[in-house]
Chains A and B, each alone.
Chain A
Amino acid sequence: MNFELTEEQQFIQQTVRDFAQKEIAPRSAHIDATGEFPHAIFRHMAELGLLGLPFPEEYGGAEADALSVALATEEIARGDGSTALAYLAHIGLGSTPLHLFGTEEQKRRFLTPAAQGEYMAAFGLTEPQAGSDAGATRTTARLEGDEWVINGEKLWITNAPIAGHIIVAALTDKEQGRKGISMIIVPRGTPGLSFGKHEHKMGLRGSMSTAVFLNDVRVPKENLLGQRGRGYSHFLQVLDGGRITIGAMAIGLAQTAYETAVKYAQQRETFGKPIGAYQSVSNMIADMVVGLEAARLLVYKVAWLKDQGQPFSHAAAVAKLYATEASEKICRDAIQVLGGNGYSSEYPVERLYRDTRLLTIGEGTSEIQRMVIARHVLGSFAAQL
């Protein structure tokens, strides 16, 4: 077993940490208060090469491994949650499917500008009737001549209104059910494509997740991504990778909450002593340390498995579940340690709590992760049901 990061991983971690602490963290409160998308930060991230971090150099990427991407995401989230969500949706959801399943031409046309940060990318899976049950997709795509004609509605699509392309899941072969789902690339500005309002959310207010309406949207036949009818298994594979970065984002948010709580516990005095001297406070701090450490080990390990080319789907569910729930608890406890100040937006912890709250929901709820994990152990009981 080797717990050392490589020099390259340390370099990436340090570079993104410096950048996030100087350029992102100071803007986090503003982003939350206004709900403004941090365009300037993303332009700067593009210059650094962050927006194509895992992708091959020939498509404008930095060819970093999954662990480096997790470390970078963690550092970005330490700076700001909204930025982190938009970042991981861009990398993990909007761009990765092209890397995994794209043709050479698709990679040139869509992966390259995304990796170079010319535009943001998005991935549209969720629908009003298809969230956890992603196989219940109702959006349809029918082939008319050389074009797909797409109709349907998507919900909660992160980066959608600012995306250069959206990869949508649609039924190309209705009668086949799940086996009739495919992924199709929809470039921005395609007639018939429109968006709902910037949702007013509990947290992560600077990242834009909106409804997407597809009304007789026509795209060339070549925009089919991956195999026709394999969309369901394709996006499950995409989501496995996405769970690693969601776990990393949870760690980043929790790290900032933890650091804020530690500083406060050392400085704030009640009854003549720093509150850190009281066990009920110091126990919360100790539990934060354990939660962070365990979450890191799980998330880094699954990233490592992925980098080794080993199966990581089960480990991704374990890591995502644990890291996001630990983060929620850590941010909750950080508010508690700060007392009344924890409840105020003068301090970052209430924001971190609101931000991390999404992470037990997005990219597979905690309940779905438990289902995946238990099935791996117990089997599906499909025969008995």
Chain B
Amino acid sequence: MHAVVFIKQVPQQNSVKITPDKQIDASGIEPIISLFDEYALEEALLQVEKNGGQVTVVTIGGEEQIDALRKALAMGANQAILVNDPALATIGSLDAAKVGAAVVKKLGDFDAIFCGKQSTDDETAVFGPALARYLGLPVLSYVFKVHELDANARRVVVDRAMETTTETVEASLPAVLTTVKDLNQPRYPSLLKIKKAQKADIPRWTAADLGLNPTELAPKVTYLDRVPPPPRPKGSIIDGASAQEKARKLVDALVDTQVI
């Protein structure tokens, strides 16, 4: 089977600072693979290990995204593709999905597409469903367990995590799966694969390579304002004569602040 995984490199939470003129301060940003995408990648690797086949990872973005792709290769992905075109530097999630669909079409043969339920920077949760729409495929969002993924029978059965319930659903392949946290335990990159990952030839595709017209992909949303989150209030130590008393005070405090 051929699994295609879309991953995105995002800033580590808390490493983003906003400058006084409300721009993003790029210094000090620690890049990581977006949390949910790591689960998507791990699931694709697991399924391919079980069923045989190939994993292709794809990222849309600048050269700095190469690190995320190399990490994915060192985790076990077979090939990586970077869609890098200055014309795409500011695209929104919907258009990114359009680009993603063009990538998948160019790859041609595939059985399943994995992506995180949303990225941890833009948080739109649009990419996966929109990608499915552009490709005319079923979308299984919020997947937290894959029961069966059978490329020969062209069948996939998963559990979806809804707000309060779970659903078990079946769809035909190919399909788009978006993953939630904790559906598996993402592996660490293998040091044995680092050399190969460093040397791997990662093709750069442009909008033109994908037959896309960049002017149609101009941003449709404009940022008007950015407000940094309020600083975290100072913690306090809960004192008490006994563990019971401390626990009671803690519970009271949590109720007072409506945490529970």
Contact = CB atoms under 8 A, between A and B. Distances in A.
A19 B188 contact: yes
Contacts of A57: 192, 195
Chain A CB within 10 A, most for which of B191, B194, B195: B191
Contacts of B189: 11, 15, 48
Chain A CB within 10 A, most for which of B193, B194, B195: B194
Interface in B166-204: 187-195, 197-198
A227 to B, nearest CB: 32
B30 to A, nearest CB: 10
Contact of B190 (A8, A49, A61, A64): A49
B190 A48 contact: yes
B2 interface: no
A53 interface: yes
B74 interface: yes
A188 B93 CA distance: 59
Contacts of B198: 7-8, 11
B195 A8 contact: yes
Contacts of A160: none
A47 B259 CA distance: 40
Contact of A62 (B70, B71, B191): B191
Nearest to B70: A11
B89 to A, nearest CB: 23
A18 interface: yes
A88 interface: no
Nearest to A11: B194
B188 A53 contact: no
A61 B74 CA distance: 15
A67 B151 CA distance: 44
A64 B189 CA distance: 15
Interface in A1-53: 7-8, 11-12, 15-16, 18-19, 47-50, 52-53
Interface residues of A, number: 20
In this complex, the interface size class of chain B, counting residues with CB under 8 Å from chain A, is: 10 to 19
Contacts of A8: 194-195, 198
Nearest to A63: B195
A16 B189 CA distance: 9
A20 B250 CA distance: 32
A18 B74 CA distance: 14
A169 to B, nearest CB: 30
Contacts of B187: 47
B15 to A, nearest CB: 14
Interface in A57-89: 57, 60-64
Nearest to B199: A8
Contacts of B191: 12, 15-16, 48-50, 53, 62, 64
Nearest to A52: B192
Interface string A264-279: 0000000000000000
A47 B75 CA distance: 11
Nearest to B30: A14
Nearest to B189: A15
Contacts of A64: 191, 194
A15 B70 CA distance: 12
Given A11-B70, A11-B74, A48 B188 contact: yes
B188 A12 contact: no
Contacts of A19: 188
Contacts of A11: 70-71, 74, 189, 194, 197-198
B108 to A, nearest CB: 31
B188 A62 contact: no
A53 B192 CA distance: 8
Contacts of A12: 191, 194
A19 B74 CA distance: 14
B231 to A, nearest CB: 15
Contacts of B74: 11, 15
Nearest to A8: B198
A7 B198 CA distance: 8
A174 to B, nearest CB: 43
A8 B198 CA distance: 7
Contacts of A53: 191
13 contacts: A8-B198, A11-B194, A11-B197, A12-B191, A15-B188, A48-B189, A48-B191, A49-B192, A53-B191, A57-B195, A62-B192, A62-B194, A64-B191
